[in-house]
């Protein structure tokens, strides 16, 4: 009978944090419908509060990752979980603490605190996977972690909306946040920074990690190390491709609902359910894509193996984005939108896995640079989409831009060589 692997318990908790993070991140976005009339806020003011999270979240990717490399994943993710709950409690308590402009400032502060908390979550999770899983499964596990993110995104709207209708927006935010303290407790009990520190790990599990790139925990986290990662040409090219690809990511994530209502003239209820379908497709595609990426790397090597999925999948995603606006039937258009997003999300594990292999001794910092770029792409894309979509025929230009950016992101992979960072 095979010995149970502790790494799967570790990953189950990482997956749980991915779900919880999106529940907490999306909670205010969904609760905004009640908050605006109850608190006397405008839609623009709520937009400022939401942007406070996005800006700080992007800015704290690298600082959060460096904190994780300095203090270890066990301590860092425990702090992240607790800080995120504090931010949620502060959001719910804001009307009790302030009024008027001070209320708006309190809400913005609480969302900024959430951004600080979660800035390092995914890079530190990547660093944990780097230590606990064989190098041949890094992309697989990062793809599965993204599936956790989409699981949280899929259940957030119906769960928060149901709780909000029954108990109010403040209770809904608290009820979707406080249970994550159990995750924090389990994380502290179960996880250690490396398998070598864990008393439950058996020799067979340690032996399976023997092929991983070497890691020297004694090497100090110096400025020269940090600058080397930030200046790594391959990391920067990978990040540029990821930034451009994330135009499509945020187009579908944040704007598909509005597109279905405004351009396809579907009802709000119908758009809500149909607009969630791309999230389901994305979660499945991320899991499958990570596994395929690892197999291609094994079969075709570090240089060409990682290029295959983006060179094929991203142009296909662009084709389906074009079909989304070209098809007359709205339901066929939704099918095309789902397939476009699925082909985009096939790439997630590949991007993260390559970043980890390029800088195996600083995988948290490397993936933080990658994710910071992705979120900058979201900020720029959101501004562009908001401006263009409001004009006559704007949605056609929005999706055409998405088709072009998919192709550009794919072509950049011809300049990316993961073999330069491979040490196995």
Which string of DSSP letters, residue by residue, matches 35-71? HHHHHT--HHHHHHHHHHHHHHHHHTHHHHHHHHHHH
How much is the pLDDT for 10?
Answer: 97
Residues 169 and 234 in one domain: no
Of 193, 214, 245, the position where a domain reaches its end is 193
Residues 234 and 308 in one domain: yes
If we measure between CA atoms, which residue out of 406, 420, 418 comes closest to residue 243?
Answer: 406
How much is the pLDDT for 150?
Answer: 87
The vertex-78 CA angle with 135 and 287, nearest 5°, equals 40
Residues 239 and 356 in one domain: yes
Band of pLDDT at residue 224, cut at 50, 70 and 90: confident
CA distances from 418 to 212, 354, 415 (A): 15, 6, 10
Band of pLDDT at residue 424, cut at 50, 70 and 90: very low
In a domain, 211, yes or no: no
The whole-chain average pLDDT of the chain stands at 87
CA distances from 113 to 25, 38, 110, 279 (A): 11, 23, 5, 26
In a domain, 178, yes or no: yes
Of 137, 169, 193, the position where a domain reaches its end is 193
The number of folded domains in the chain is 2
In a domain, 234, yes or no: yes
Residues 174 and 258 in one domain: no
Range 46-61 burial, b when 16+ CB lie within 10 A, else e: beebbebbbbbbbbbb
Residues 23 and 120 in one domain: yes
In a domain, 389, yes or no: yes
243-273 per-position pLDDT tens digit: 999 887 777 666 565 566 566 666 544 555 5
Give the pair of three-digit tokens for residue 62: 């690298």
**In this predicted model, which residue has the larger pLDDT, 265 or 413?**
413
Residues 188 and 234 in one domain: no
If we measure between CA atoms, which residue out of 69, 80, 59, 64 comes closest to residue 13?
Answer: 80
Residues 119 and 239 in one domain: no
In a domain, 132, yes or no: yes
**In this predicted model, which residue has the larger pLDDT, 204 or 329?**
204
- What is the mean pLDDT of the segment spanning 150-158? 83
Residues 234 and 138 in one domain: no
- How many C-beta atoms surround the C-beta of residue 210 within 10 A? 7
Residues 172 and 290 in one domain: no
How much is the pLDDT for 353?
Answer: 96
How much is the pLDDT for 410?
Answer: 96
Residues 174 and 276 in one domain: no
**In this predicted model, which residue has the larger pLDDT, 140 or 382?**
140
Residues 369 and 422 in one domain: yes
Alpha helix ranges (H) inside 202-267: 203-207, 223-230, 233-262
Residues 383 and 310 in one domain: yes
What pTM was computed for the model? 0.89
**In this predicted model, which residue has the larger pLDDT, 252 or 106?**
106
**In this predicted model, which residue has the larger pLDDT, 189 or 158?**
189
299-356 per-position pLDDT tens digit: 999 999 999 999 999 999 999 988 887 887 877 888 888 898 899 999 999 999 999 9
Q: What is the CATH number of the domain that holds 400?
A: 1.20.1250.20
How much is the pLDDT for 383?
Answer: 72
> How large a percentage of the chain has pLDDT more than 90?
55
Q: 265 in the Ramachandran plot: left (φ > 0), alpha (ψ -120 to 50) or beta?
A: left
In a domain, 201, yes or no: no
Q: In this structure, what DSSP letter does residue 390 have?
A: T
Contact 195, 131 (CB under 8 A): yes
In a domain, 342, yes or no: yes
Give the pair of three-digit tokens for residue 371: 């994710």
Of 135, 164, 193, the position where a domain reaches its end is 193
In a domain, 214, yes or no: no
Domain that holds residue 301: 230-424
390-399 per-position pLDDT tens digit: 666 677 788 8
């Amino acid at each position: 009978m095979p010995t149970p692997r502790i790494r799967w318990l570790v990953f189950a908790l990482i997956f749980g944090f991915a779900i919880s993070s999106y529940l907490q991140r999306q909670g205010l976005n969904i609760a905004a419908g009640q908050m605006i009339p109850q608190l006397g806020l405008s839609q623009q003011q709520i937009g400022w509060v939401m942007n406070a999270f996005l800006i700080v979240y992007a800015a704290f990717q690298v600082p959060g990752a460096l904190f994780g490399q300095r203090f270890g994943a066990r301590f860092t993710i425990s702090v992240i979980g607790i800080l995120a709950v504090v931010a949620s409690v502060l959001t719910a308590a804001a009307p009790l603490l302030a009024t008027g402009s001070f209320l708006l400032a309190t809400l913005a502060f609480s969302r900024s605190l959430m951004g600080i908390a979660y800035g390092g979550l995914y890079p530190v999770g990547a660093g944990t996977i780097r230590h606990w899983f064989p190098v041949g499964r890094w992309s697989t596990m990062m793809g599965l972690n993204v599936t956790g993110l989409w699981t949280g995104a899929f259940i957030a709207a119906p769960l928060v909306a149901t709780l909000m209708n029954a108990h109010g927006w403040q209770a809904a935010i608290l009820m979707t946040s406080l249970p994550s303290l159990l995750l924090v407790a389990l994380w502290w009990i179960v996880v250690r920074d490396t398998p070598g520190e864990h008393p439950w790990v058996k020799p067979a599990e340690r032996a399976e990690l023997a092929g991983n790139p070497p890691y020297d925990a004694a090497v100090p986290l110096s400025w020269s190390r940090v600058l080397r990662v930030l200046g790594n040409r391959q990391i920067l090219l990978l990040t540029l491709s990821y930034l451009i690809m994330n135009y499509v990511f945020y187009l579908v994530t944040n704007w598909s609902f509005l597109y279905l209502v405004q351009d396809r003239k579907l009802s709000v209820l119908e758009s809500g359910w149909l607009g969630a379908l791309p999230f389901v497709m994305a979660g499945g595609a991320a899991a499958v894509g990570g596994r395929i990426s690892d197999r291609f790397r094994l079969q075709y090597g570090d240089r060409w193996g990682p290029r295959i999925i983006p060179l094929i999948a991203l142009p296909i995603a662009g084709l389906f984005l074009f079909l989304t606006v070209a098809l007359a039937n709205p339901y066929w258009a939704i099918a095309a939108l789902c397939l476009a997003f699925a082909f985009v999300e096939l790439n997630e594990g590949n991007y993260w896995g390559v970043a980890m292999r390029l800088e195996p001794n600083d995988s948290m910092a490397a993936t933080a640079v990658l994710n910071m770029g992705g979120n900058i792409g979201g900020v720029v894309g959101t501004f562009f989409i908001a401006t263009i979509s409001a004009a006559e025929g704007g949605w056609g230009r929005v999706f055409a831009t998405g088709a072009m950016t998919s192709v550009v992101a794919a072509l950049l992979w011809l300049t990316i060589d993961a073999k330069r960072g491979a040490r196995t």
